[in-house]
Amino acid sequence: MKKMKIYRNYRKSNSITLFNGDSKKLLKKIESESVDLIITSPPYCMKKAYEDPKDDIRTFRQQHIDIFKDIYRVLKPGGSICWQVGYHVTNICLIPLDYIVYDIFTSENDDLEYPILLRNRVIWTFGHGLNSTQRFSGRHETVLWFTKGSDYNFDLDKVRVPQKYPGKLSYKGPNKGNLSGNPLGKNPSDVWEIPNVKANHIEKTEHPCQFPVAIPQRFIKALVPEGGVVFDPFMGSGTTGVASILENCKFIGAEILTEYYSIATHRIKNAINGNSVFRPDIPVLEPNPNMSVSKLPEEFEKIRRIKNGEY
């Protein structure tokens, strides 16, 4: 296969476009109805290193209103949008960002030939994160998967996962006594347990908010036809680009900050050269009870006993 080449300026014929600038500007150049999947995680306006400290929830809303028309225009009929967001956290409360995205992305449906239709609200759950003391610790975010119109591509067989009990038999009906599962594995469902990219994750770069390769990779496998076009308007460290290359797709990405743009370019070049570092999308294992970190430290045990009134 011909080696993919990276271009900085968009042309429809490019196999990979990595744009260092504002995605609004890039969007204006992308040809209408040319993209199969738009998948991204936008800024949550939470005062991260890459955000303006003045940005707040109104900024989040406005940024989405500003780009939606072009997002819709560049997507092919039958194409998909996967928007990965969490919560906007203030010192008063949490605001679920997917409500805002849903509202904006579906607000024009009455006037559209191909309405934007929600197919799944995937719960992405992970084992680690900040520990809260005043509420339950947050261990999930969501991905809204929409399609443009009702005739869309979905290849379930490409993303089946192993059954816990593959030998299970039907216990009633005409198939009683026969194997009840699909030989290729089961539907991964709309709850995905995939480790988030924290300090010890093999995919970790200097970017503060990466999502793991497995998230875009699963969507690309299921939703994008062979050789299709994937677009990430807020590509950060280039995770979606890496997943696109692993799945033999074309990729268009925008990143406004040069520091992250360089990381993305480096990762995507490695992927092109077959040197990508990523955690394969395999089920999360149970903890190994023999590892020293799995054992309950004596001091914890003592405090628990005191709390239980045992001393």
Ligand X SMILES: C[S@@+](CC[C@H](N)C(=O)[O-])C[C@H]1O[C@@H](n2cnc3c(N)ncnc32)[C@H](O)[C@@H]1O
Binding site for ligand X (CB under 6 A): 22-23, 41, 43, 50, 207, 209-211, 234, 236-237, 239, 254-257, 260
Of 19 and 114, the one with the shorter C-beta distance to ligand X is: 19
Of 152 and 234, the one with the shorter C-beta distance to ligand X is: 234
CB closest to ligand X, residue no: 236
Least CB distance from residue 108 to ligand X, whole Å? 22
Of 80 and 237, the one with the shorter C-beta distance to ligand X is: 237
- Three-state DSSP state, 294: helix
Element (H, E) at 123: strand 116-125
Least CB distance from residue 127 to ligand X, whole Å? 18
Least CB distance from residue 102 to ligand X, whole Å? 18
Least CB distance from residue 290 to ligand X, whole Å? 33
Minimal CA–CA distance to 212: which of 128, 279, 259, 269?
279
Of 152 and 240, the one with the shorter C-beta distance to ligand X is: 240
Give per-residue burial for 187-207: e unless 16+ CB within 10 Å, then b.
ebeeebebebbeeeeebebeb
Least CB distance from residue 48 to ligand X, whole Å? 8
Q: Are 236 and 207 within 8 A, CB to CB? A: yes
DSSP string, 222-253: HHS-TT-EEEETT-TTTHHHHHHHHTT-EEEE
Residues 6+ apart with CB under 8 A from 31: 12, 74
Least CB distance from residue 284 to ligand X, whole Å? 19
Q: Are 76 and 36 within 8 A, CB to CB? A: yes
Of 114 and 261, the one with the shorter C-beta distance to ligand X is: 261
Of 43 and 228, the one with the shorter C-beta distance to ligand X is: 43
- Three-state DSSP state, 33: coil
